[in-house]
A and B are shown apart, each in its own frame.
Chain A
Amino acid sequence: MIVLLRDLLRDSPEFRIGAVLVVFVLLLSVLASFSPYPPESVYVVPPDVPPSLTYWFGTTSRGQDVFWQLSFAIRNTLLFGCTVALISRLFALVIGLISGYKGGWIDRALMSVNDTFIVIPLLPILVLFYFMMRDRISWLMLALIMACFGWAYDARLIRSVVMSLKAREFTQTSLFSGMSTRQILTEEHLPYVMPIVFSTTMNNMVWSIGLEVTLAVLGFTDINTPTVGGMIYWANQHTAMVAGVWWWIVFPTITVIMVFIGLFLLAVSANAYIDPRSRLWSMEGAS
């Protein structure tokens, strides 16, 4: 693991940039535990103060310190992304492994459902969901719904890897040595699939955080829990750009862009590392 990280840090500029961005944002989110103000309180500091030494990122029109508010927001946003990614990985793994290994009609049936979930436009459904739930919507509920939709593309990816693993000799050997399907999948195939699971985790986080930000900005989530999208929502509600309170929008936007680019670059470099062809190509390029 350490060797892998060292290799990636040395050989891949994408990984270096991505790691720096993600570590920076993670540090910001860890700082939330040391915040002097609780996240929900308003009017704890003077409103509309521009960035200064006392208030690094300025204060909002609701009398909140943008820096501390942002650290809470980014923590909740990252937590949301991780939750969706973890739950949807489980779906993707189970369906991808079974579909790829079993083949036949099980594979066809599962992939039809899978393709359906890839194609269905999720945003209108999420909006409809918010419309029906109104204020009862919680972030865990939203995370569960998104996880139910976020597995499909990655299940297809995992399936294709398992299909190629199935054709290899060690699968036959384990089959003839009496291992059950579950054992073959979890003990023999899972280790080969794990690298893809890691890289798709990051892509999935980019996806779910993007959707969450979008919904929150429109006010279609639980707007009282601070998230990055929620911050932009409140800033828009107070017409921050027009009122000249630019720091209320600019700092959350920069942070969330850092999250997206950071996670995406990590996913890209991990993908490049997994794919032997592109690894070979980068070695040729280096020599």
Chain B
Amino acid sequence: MRGYLAYVGRRFGQFLLVVFIGINIAYVVTHASPIDPVEQSISAVTSYGNTAPGAIEQMRNSLRELYGLSGTPVEQYLLFWKRILRADFGPSMSAFPTPVGTLIGRALPWTAGLLAVSTIVAWGLGNLLGGLAGYYRQSRGLKLMGVIAMGLHPIPYYILAMLLLIVFGFLWPVLPISGGSAMNLPQTLTPEFVLSVLQHAILPALSLILIGIGSWFLGMRSLVSNVLAEDFVVYAELAGVRSWRVLTSYVMRNALVPQVTGLAMSLGGIFNGAVITEKVFGYPGLGSLLVDAVYAGDYGLVLGVTTISILGVSIGVLAIDLLYPLLDPRVRVS
């Protein structure tokens, strides 16, 4: 138990470090830039006709206040942290006066759901098939899967999503290609609504799964072929343990350990993919929110989504790290 607590402490420290460095990067990027977001917003507002100079000055001051750009650098830095800890990013400029926090809160479940389901499916399926492919090396079908995985894995999310969009929206229109659910349904838990959400999630999830599955498949296949050479596997086979049991509880169980670490490490990358996929399919999650906020020039919203993304991914990584000892008992003892 003490080993586990020490492990949890270490991982929690790492989590704090990720959040700290990530938020600081966001701070540096926003505060070291030669372009002033306040002037950007003002020129966006004043480009539609005349505004009195006094009103502009007032606007400048209140925007400075709102964006946390008034006061000395130290004050600004402390204010930046205070706002993030309270998840208070002020009102959104493009959807005024809705607070940025509300917009993010509305988008977050969509992204989290899409990301969770597609990551779990891709990871589970990829590892299972990869394990089989490493164990039954001569199987034609599994070899073919390896070739497909190698071809799909390096393609960037955007390109694959666009291809799926063209195929299922243009050449063979059978699936909804945009939105999170049908427009005419109220967002309550009715069977129609749930069905519509599932239907709309198929294409975005499919593009995330198709790309994700490849790396887990290839990784698991090579891990399994390494574990197969270990003495304990040879011994189990000689002792007459049934081959399915050798595969599941001797080979795959051991090969899964680095794959869990891999999952934690690649979560940031998977999140990047989800952001892009959402934009392609007009899915109402954080990705669409972020891209639209950039187009609308909404400083508070862009900053809010970025910091929440960093926080969200770090929490996801921490959660995987905390589950890790379930799989690898060595962490619990030592």
Contacts and interface: CB of A to CB of B under 8 A. Distances in A.
Interface of A: 14, 112-113, 115-125, 127-134, 136, 153, 206, 209-211, 213-214, 217-218, 220, 232, 241, 249, 253, 256-257, 260-261, 263-265, 268, 277-278, 281
Give the interface residue-count category, chain B.
35 or more
Given A116-B22, A125-B306, 14 more contacts: A120-B268, A121-B269, A125-B310, A128-B29, A136-B34, A136-B35, A153-B265, A210-B154, A214-B158, A214-B276, A217-B158, A261-B151, A264-B150, A281-B225
A14 B150 contact: yes
Nearest to B15: A119
Contacts of B267: 119
Contacts, number: 137
Interface in B2-58: 13-14, 17-18, 21-22, 25-26, 29-30, 33-35, 37, 40
B302 A128 contact: yes
18 contacts: A118-B268, A119-B314, A120-B25, A121-B313, A123-B272, A124-B310, A128-B302, A131-B302, A132-B29, A133-B33, A134-B40, A206-B154, A209-B156, A218-B279, A241-B166, A241-B170, A253-B159, A257-B155
B217 interface: no
Main secondary structure on chain B at its contact with chain A? Answer: helix
Contacts of A257: 155, 159
Interface of B: 13-14, 17-18, 21-22, 25-26, 29-30, 33-35, 37, 40, 150-151, 153-159, 162-163, 166, 170, 218, 222, 225-226, 229, 264-265, 267-269, 271-272, 275-276, 279, 290-291, 294, 299, 302-303, 305-306, 309-310, 313-314, 317
Contacts of B269: 121-122
B229 A131 contact: no
A121 B310 contact: yes
A213 B279 contact: no
Given A14-B150, A136-B34, A214-B276, A122 B156 contact: no
Contact of B275 (A112, A123, A136, A206): A123
Given A132-B30, A133-B33, A119 B18 contact: yes
A264 to B, nearest CB: 4
A130 B25 CA distance: 14
B309 A121 contact: yes
A119 B272 CA distance: 11
B272 A128 contact: no
Nearest to B291: A218
Contacts of B35: 132-134, 136
Nearest to A257: B155
